[in-house]
Amino acid sequence: MNIELLTIGTELLLGFTIDTNAAHIARTLGEIGVRLVRRGSVGDRGDDIRDAVRESLDRTGALITTGGLGPTRDDITKRVVAELYGTPLEFHDEIWQVLVERFARMGRVAPAVNRLQAEVPRGATVLRNHWGTAPGLWLEDSRGIVIMLPGVPREMRMLLAQEVVPRLAARGANGVIRSRVVRTSGIPESLLAERLGDIEERVTPLTLAYLPGYDGVDLRLTAWNLPSAGADAALADGVGLLRERAGDHVYGEEERDLAAVLLDAARQRGVRIAVAESCTGGLVGKRLTDTPGSSDVFMGGVIAYDNAVKTQLVEVPQVLLDTHGAVSEEVASAMALGVARRLGVSLTLAVTGVAGPGGGSQAKPVGTVWLATALDGAVKTQRLVLPGSREEIRLRAAQAALLFGLRRLQSGARLDAPTDGAPTPA
């Protein structure tokens, strides 16, 4: 079954509200094999709402709307849809009594303006809203289905789960829309596509999407309307193939964060981690501590932003700073070794670079980053030249540092591992 989504509200067109309802609805419907084929947003204007609803019915025959069911003047969804279906609004006293009781529990009298919320298009099914004042409505005839839900995220979610999903599922949608994601880092989209080669034919009937971000490129495989077991089997095969082709650029699956993967790898090996950060200014530590329970592995470290902190807290010799500059292989190495020594940990990650926008030079342009990792006293380094803004460079540098740490752990303490020295743009 296909369906469309129309989110209604002038605020969505002004750009001050980011529409998070749409993503939730899409994911929820996918799980019961209902495919969202189009999304739209219009303001609180009758003509625009009517046109959009009519177009969706003509095109797809099924539509969910959110918003415009409240008690104020700009809440007109119900009226417009009823007009379109040629059906009158009728006052339902039992809905009104529920509202009266609801206000009474808060020690208030229900305002007259809320009486509008007790009006229902004749022939519509009322979807009881226990979480707010606006009931949902399900209106259906030969033209198709319009399911009207409130725009308040919590109310929308509860009504969707408890009233809409069971009814849609009962229509016997067969198959599910299900995805799996393989996460990669350290390889640009186009090179990854070359590596994967003819994989899109190999994974048929699954589809493959490339989703590049600052933390790498995610690969999403999607099964469309397959039986649940078939979807799972096809996705498992596809994920296996992706992992095989993308090799050691893969660090995890689904929403798994690289920092969490690194923490797990360290935990398994009984290794503790510390950081020495210059240009990332705490971002690597922040990433590692985003994960609950990181404290058994992550000790902390030093934000060695100023050179004085590098010398005073991580024992970088002043002569290295004078000779090679703060952004250098020598200083990165000294930071990694220094913090390892000071805190007595096995694995350390050090980052020093030019995040910009100022501070670049011909020899060390903005984006130049030196990473160092010390594992049981053995240091490796990487030089990167990262693209993007200050923010992007910092995000990519932190991601690259975490990936470098993970590769060190995975390759043990071998000094011939293929990672060192190789540029690894995130």
In the region spanning residues 162 to 181, those forming contacts with a copy of itself, defined by CB under 8 A, are: 177, 179, 181
* 65 is a site residue for a copy of itself (CB under 8 A): no
* 205 is a site residue for a copy of itself (CB under 8 A): no
Instruction: Please say whether the beta carbons of 77 and 48 come within 8 A.
Output: no
Give residue for tokens 């725009």.
151
* 100 is a site residue for a copy of itself (CB under 8 A): no
* 207 is a site residue for a copy of itself (CB under 8 A): yes
- Give whichever of 55 and 253 is closer to a copy of itself, judged by the CB atom: 55
Interacting residue with a copy of itself among 1, 8, 12, 369 (CB under 8 A): 12
Interacting residue with a copy of itself among 83, 125, 175, 210 (CB under 8 A): 210
Within 10 A of 3 (CB to CB), how many other CB atoms are there?
22
Query: Which two tokens mark 249?
Result: 């650029």
* 280 is a site residue for a copy of itself (CB under 8 A): yes
Q: How far is the CB of 122 from a copy of itself (least distance, A)?
A: 26
Please state, in angstroms and rounded to a whole number, the distance separating the CA atoms of residues 190 and 241.
Answer: 18
* 113 is a site residue for a copy of itself (CB under 8 A): yes
Restricting to residues 330-349, name those near a copy of itself by CB under 8 A. Answer: 342-343
Q: Cβ contacts of residue 355 below 8 Å, gap of 6+?
A: 279, 280, 366, 390, 393, 394, 397
Beta strands in 165-322 (DSSP E): 176-184, 207-213, 216-226, 250-253, 273-277, 298-303
Nearest to 237 by CA among 204, 193, 195: 204
* 96 is a site residue for a copy of itself (CB under 8 A): no
Instruction: Please say whether the beta carbons of 336 and 372 come within 8 A.
Output: yes
Q: How far is the CB of 271 from a copy of itself (least distance, A)?
A: 14
Nearest to 300 by CA among 352, 251, 344: 344
* 313 is a site residue for a copy of itself (CB under 8 A): yes
Q: Cβ contacts of residue 131 below 8 Å, gap of 6+?
A: 154, 155, 158, 159
* 46 is a site residue for a copy of itself (CB under 8 A): no
* 30 is a site residue for a copy of itself (CB under 8 A): yes
**Which region, judged by CB under 8 A, interacts with a copy of itself, from 227-235, 279-287, 329-337, 368-376?**
279-287
Interacting residue with a copy of itself among 226, 250, 279, 401 (CB under 8 A): 279
